[in-house]
Chain A
Amino acid sequence: KQEVTQIPAALSVPEGENLVLNCSFTDSAIYNLQWFRQDPGKGLTSLLLIQSSQREQTSGRLNASLDKSSGRSTLYIAASQPGDSATYLCAVRQSNDMRFGAGTRLTVKP
């Protein structure tokens, strides 16, 4: 059974810092991996989708990498801002459903 783990569970950084969020998964036979943002009491906002054949995706200050063979993905956030404060979830697609990690709760302090 696919298990998705996110480390750290919580992270607090000062504004302007670059940071890395980690995601690991136990079964490398995935179709894609997706990073989401979730604000308190809200739904999921898709940030980046990496297909299994890809190594990375970039959008603005965000860069996500995928190493399928080692079962790892990282989300890099450059020049963090207070508005980046949210919970970040990674999810892998293996069949009909997506398997999610428990998320990393990020706080960016002004």
Chain B
Amino acid sequence: GAGVSQTPSNKVTEKGKYVELRCDPISGHTALYWYRQSLGQGPEFLIYFQGTGAADDSGLPNDRFFAVRPEGSVSTLKIQRTERGDSAVYLCASSLNPGQANEQFFGPGTRLTVL
């Protein structure tokens, strides 16, 4: 594919609702990462997938956040019982393989606003 894509680009929801954010990585990239960027801050790591499995979910803030990648390509970040503090830009990145020296390529992000 041309690059990492994310949908929707913007999502507005009400406090307490459930949301799903989608990431399509670059074709053939086995590693996939989710980050969250609050206003005026750099992105913060949430979770990393190698293939279908979550190899590192240490950045997920609490159990309301969950992510899946069932076929080792597309990933969905799921947030339950959204709170106003969840408002941020959610960024997805992929890399060809999980080696630490490999470059991560970022998508345009999904801007989530919780009212």
What string of 1s and 0s marks CB contacts (under 8 Å) between A67-107 and chain B? 00000000000000000000001010111111111110000
* Residue A20, interface by CB 8 Å: no
In the bound assembly, the distance between CA atoms of A54 and B89 in angstroms comes to 32
* Residue A28, interface by CB 8 Å: no
Residue of A with least CB distance to B111:
A41
* Residue A34, interface by CB 8 Å: yes
Partner of A96, one of B40, B44, B56: B56
Interface of A is mostly: strand
In the bound assembly, the distance between CA atoms of A44 and B35 in angstroms comes to 11
Interface size on A, residues (CB 8 A): 27
Quick check: A43 and B109 within 8 Å, CB to CB?
yes
Partner of B101, one of A4, A45, A51, A96: A51
Q: A89-B42, A97-B33 are in contact. Are A44 and B56 (CB under 8 A)?
A: no
Q: A34-B103, A93-B100 are in contact. Are A102 and B48 (CB under 8 A)?
A: no
Instruction: Give me 15 A-to-B residue pairs in the complex whose CB atoms sit less than 8 angstroms apart, sorted by A's number.
Output: A31-B100, A34-B104, A42-B109, A43-B106, A43-B107, A44-B106, A46-B105, A91-B42, A91-B43, A93-B100, A96-B55, A97-B48, A97-B56, A101-B42, A102-B40
